Amino acid sequence: MSTLAAIEQYMSIYGTLVLTTLGIIGNILSILIFLSPRYRRQSSHFYLLCLALSDLCFLIINLFEDTFRNHNQVYKSHINFLDRSSSLICIFVQYARNVTRSLSSWIIVSFTIERLLVVFHPLKRAIICRRKIARFVVCILFSLSFVSNINVPFHYGIITQENSTRNDSICDIIPEHRQIYMRFAIATMTTVYLVPMCIIGLVNMLICCKLWRKSLLMENNETNIIPKERHRVFSRRHLSHITEFLSCLHISRRSSTSSSVTKQSIHGRTSSFNQYQSIGPVKNGYLSDDENRSQPLRPNSLSSLSVNYTINPKHSVTSIKTYIQSRTHRVTATLLLVSFSFLVLNTPYCVVWIANYAQSFRNDTLRSIKEITELFMLTNFCINFLLYCVSGKVFRGELICLLRCRWRELYDRNETERMARRRSRPRNEIQLNEPKLKTRSLSINPNDQLNRPSVSSIYTSRVPST
């Protein structure tokens, strides 16, 4: 046995076993997270849920078919349950393997095209990213995958291996139909790998070009807006300092007038009559409307104007817009990583498979290289969970809840919304409650004026009647 054949044999056993086990665990965790209420709103998460289900089915089938078969060939462990089953089970498993492999490829194509439409038409995102459309697309893809592999029941079956002393059976292609199957195999390679890879590569290139142009425009806008924003901030700070100074003057003047009123109330009716003449006509304990209309603008009115200027609803609108844009960018980054991994990991397998097909699968070296490149193809079904953890902060938080067995927080819709509000509460309160604190410190509430004692009430309460 050559060195390359030995490496291929052991990698096909242990490498496949490790990748398949990790992939099954990762896809199960992905399914549990994507079933939570927080991921039931966007269509992209539905695509990722279906992709995890399809990858999980493919990995389980690959574990029973290739991994156990290779282990049995080397160690004679007799764990190849599929090879010792009936022809009906063999056909069903091979049919499911081909359908799930095709479905996984075209699901990636679907959400990549959807992300292209979202990037080019962001205002129509609510119309494009609907789960109803995603369900319809997945149903169509499943139907097409089911129909396109209709040849599998006629080409697969349980056959007995040649030159075998133990009469070992294997679930493989029937020898009489091998030449016809190779024509279907090249069609399957084209529809499952080559065409999706071309579409994904083209669409990803368009998405990256569009995002790069947007980033350049945003940088140019920021360079133009920064001087204006600095001028606005400086003017706002200057106005706030002026209003604070005027409010302090008003408070000091009010305190001085109140102290003078208390002193004058002790002297008797004469001082109160003089005070009445100095203040003006009083009606029901307050200044008359004519006098209020003739008075100039007071510092408290300026402070109220400044406060109304600081409480700008545009701040909340811009914060919501930035939150939506950041969430869209995070989802776009995750989907781009999944599609790029599909391209990178499946390209070596496709190239080597086409080279083997050109040699009619008779070159042993190319066959050994093809077995090694199958590990890269298998990695494509296992790596998505790692990509979700790397690119998704929310996904990592949900994974922590899942590993800590906090099921109520993960699957209860009310509990999920409450935890999301509590996590985002400090930042929102800092942004939205600071103007309210300023209003309480600067503005003068009209209700406070009603509760303040007037000049006549102070006089009547402190001077006894004669």
Q: pLDDT tens digits for 44-56? A: 999 999 999 999 9
Round the average pLDDT of the chain to a whole number and report it: 76
Rg (CA), the chain: 38
In this structure, how many other beta carbons lie within 10 angstroms of the beta carbon of residue 258? 14
At 259 the pLDDT is: 53
Q: What is the pLDDT of residues 264-299, one digit of tens each?
A: 554 444 444 444 444 444 444 444 444 444 444 444
Residue 437 burial (10 A CB sphere; 0-12, 13-18, 19+)? exposed
> The domain spanning residue 137 has which CATH number?
1.20.1070.10
At 464 the pLDDT is: 44
Q: Is there a domain that residue 453 lies in?
A: no
Q: Which residue has better confidence, 180 or 3?
A: 180
At 110 the pLDDT is: 95
Q: Which residue has better confidence, 165 or 343?
A: 343
Q: Is there a domain that residue 298 lies in?
A: no
Q: Is there a domain that residue 460 lies in?
A: no
Which pLDDT band, with edges at 50, 70 and 90, does 226 fall under? low
Question: What mean pLDDT is predicted for residues 428-446?
Answer: 44
Beta bridge pairs of residue 171: 158
Give how far the C-alpha of residue 180 lies from the chain's centroid of Cα atoms, to the nearest Å: 46
**According to the per-residue pLDDT averaged within each range, which of 212-216, 246-250, 417-421 is highest?**
212-216
Specify the number of domains making up the chain.
1
At 199 the pLDDT is: 95
Residue whose C-alpha is closest to residue 161's, from 176, 145, 151, 172: 172
Distance CA 44, CA 335 (A): 8
Cβ pair 458, 286 in contact under 8 A? no
Q: Is the whole model's pTM more than 0.75, yes or no?
A: no
List Cβ neighbours of 148 (8 Å cut-off, separation of 6 or more): 102, 188, 191
Cβ pair 459, 269 in contact under 8 A? no
Q: Is there a domain that residue 231 lies in?
A: no
**According to the per-residue pLDDT averaged within each range, which of 351-355, 434-438, 454-458 is highest?**
351-355
Tokens read off for 316: 């909340």
Question: What mean pLDDT is predicted for residues 408-427?
Answer: 61
Which pLDDT band, with edges at 50, 70 and 90, does 253 fall under? low
Distance CA 104, CA 239 (A): 61
Question: What mean pLDDT is predicted for residues 110-114?
Answer: 94
Q: Is there a domain that residue 251 lies in?
A: no
Which pLDDT band, with edges at 50, 70 and 90, does 255 fall under? low
Question: What mean pLDDT is predicted for residues 81-85?
Answer: 85
* Cα angle value 177/179/185 (rounded, 5°): 95
At 310 the pLDDT is: 43
Q: Is there a domain that residue 349 lies in?
A: yes
Question: What mean pLDDT is predicted for residues 145-164?
Answer: 84
Above 70 in pLDDT, residue 174? yes
Q: Is there a domain that residue 397 lies in?
A: yes
Least confident range from 32-36, 53-57, 137-141, 456-460: namely 456-460
Above 90 in pLDDT, residue 303? no
**According to the per-residue pLDDT averaged within each range, which of 160-164, 367-371, 382-386 is highest?**
382-386
Distance CA 280, CA 297 (A): 18
At 249 the pLDDT is: 63
361 lies in which domain range? 3-218+328-418
Which pLDDT band, with edges at 50, 70 and 90, does 142 fall under? very high
Distance CA 443, CA 301 (A): 8
Q: Is there a domain that residue 395 lies in?
A: yes
Question: What mean pLDDT is predicted for residues 111-121?
Answer: 92
Residue whose C-alpha is closest to residue 330's, from 397, 412, 380: 397
CA distances from 352 to 359, 369, 400 (A): 11, 7, 40
At 455 the pLDDT is: 42
